[in-house]
Amino acid sequence: MDLLNTLVEKGLRRELPTREEALAVLATSDDELLDVVAAAGKVRRQWFGRRVKLNYLVNLKSGLCPEDCSYCSQRLGSKAEILKYTWLKPDEASKAAAAGVAGGAKRVCLVASGRGPTDRDVDRVSQTIQTIKEQNEGIEVCACLGLLSEGQAERLRAAGADAYNHNLNTSEATYGDITTTHTYADRVDTVHQAQSAGMSACSGLIAGMGESDEDLVDVVFSLRELDPDSVPVNFLIPFEGTPLAKEWNLTPQRCLRILAMVRFVCPDVEVRLAGGREVHLRSLQPLALHVVNSIFLGDYLTSEGQEGKADLAMIADAGFEVEGAGTTTLPTHRADALEAAGAAGGCGGHSGGGCGPCGDGAPADTAATCAPTGGCAPAPAAVPAADQARTDLVAVRRRGAGTDLPPNA
């Protein structure tokens, strides 16, 4: 296809596609899907080879959020029966992080529900960051704490935070449809604060909330302009007890097209396959590795993910390799710009699960059976027809942080 050849050439030159080209990727047919993945794969290999970066989420504080984000199981008024607990102690968080590091994770993402941290919260998280770094040499730490107030980004950076996540989630035009307690501009401002403090910015989207192709292209073009170093792509898990419980709009093919479009628009950025991949990509997850260069290992914030061992096997079977701790993730031109910005104490125009969605939970009535490992797995269920919601693939997290059971890593 002339379209794909053009997009590959632009991606290799780091040239921005047109909006029409991005929309055309989303409009391709199933017959063209493998060609789309192969074209995006050429761009991915140019900048990231066959490496896959592993990231690990630690939910520092779960549930009880005053914000009303429609997609989130931790939102105000959520009926989802997720784990609810207040702040983990630094040693508890470090122990949880160590499980991910042992599984091969290169970055630990510290996430806390809420509108944004108080100064006391920043002190608490700063101590947690320092503890994790003291006990895990060379590990990257990303914080995801909500909207930042003046001076908080600098304090997190001084404590050792390498990155800060705050997702745009959807287009500016439709943002008010999913959240009313803060604005799209608030989110953009927090990403700018992280960049100005010299942290690597991580900002992405959630697909599957009923948005149009135009909305998807809008948010990805906005991310390109914001210039984060990593872009997590989340796929909505429509759990019971939230306003988006009935939004089952994604197919594996649709997810792959979305990922390819993101890669073409953000060719040299760490594109991370984040929450919802197991639910919506299902058996096509390995194909996504040809487009993305980063995934979350194990469980998410409020829902369980694929077993960590299965993640590692998938990467190896697909012909990829886990990125080692001594390897620089970003291409040289981006890594050099980030290092210079950090040394200067600011980030200028450049900066990136949150770390995944704020709350990527699952239906509250999902049945679970305890596995021999002490974790929980979805109870066996009949496979629904292709056009029905696959709630059998979803389970509320009942292990790891905030529990007495070992984590999935």
271, 262 Cβ separation under 8 angstroms = yes
Annotated catalytic residue within 44, 65, 107, 187 = 65
Q: Is 347 annotated as a binding residue?
A: no
Strand locations in 79-229 (E)? 107-112, 140-144, 163-165, 200-202, 205-207
52, 34 Cβ separation under 8 angstroms = no
Task: For residue 347, indicate whether it is catalytic.
Answer: no
Q: What is the DSSP letter of 324?
A: P
Give the containing element (helix H, strand E) for 252. Answer: helix 252-265
Task: For residue 65, indicate whether it is catalytic.
Answer: yes
Annotated catalytic residue within 44, 124, 157, 202 = 202
Annotated catalytic residue within 272, 334, 397, 398 = 272
Q: Is 144 annotated as a binding residue?
A: no
Annotated catalytic residue within 44, 72, 334, 355 = 72
Beta bridge partners of 235: 207
Q: Is 376 annotated as a binding residue?
A: no
By C-alpha distance, which of 342, 325, 314, 239 is closest to 56?
325
For the beta carbon of residue 233, count every other beta carbon within 10 angstroms. 28
Please state whether beta strands 270-273 and 230-235 pair in parallel, antiparallel, or not at all (unpaired). Answer: parallel
Task: For residue 376, indicate whether it is catalytic.
Answer: no
* Residue at token pair 């993305």: 292
Task: For residue 109, indicate whether it is catalytic.
Answer: yes
Q: Is 266 annotated as a binding residue?
A: no
Q: How far apart are the first and last CA of the chain?
A: 40
By C-alpha distance, which of 49, 74, 44, 45 is closest to 59?
74
Q: Is 272 annotated as a binding residue?
A: yes
Task: For residue 107, indicate whether it is catalytic.
Answer: no
Q: Is 13 annotated as a binding residue?
A: no
Task: For residue 266, indicate whether it is catalytic.
Answer: no
DSSP symbols for 42-91: HHHHHHHTTEEEEEEEEEEEBS--S---TT-TTSTT-------B-PPPHH
Going from the C-alpha of 267 to that of each of 45, 164, 191, 201, 263, the distances in angstroms are 10, 21, 20, 16, 5
Annotated catalytic residue within 142, 144, 266, 376 = 142
Catalytic residue numbers read 65, 69, 72, 109, 142, 202, 272
Positions at the binding site for [4Fe-4S] cluster: 65, 69, 72
Positions at the binding site for [2Fe-2S] cluster: 109, 142, 202, 272
Positions at the binding site: 65, 69, 72, 109, 142, 202, 272
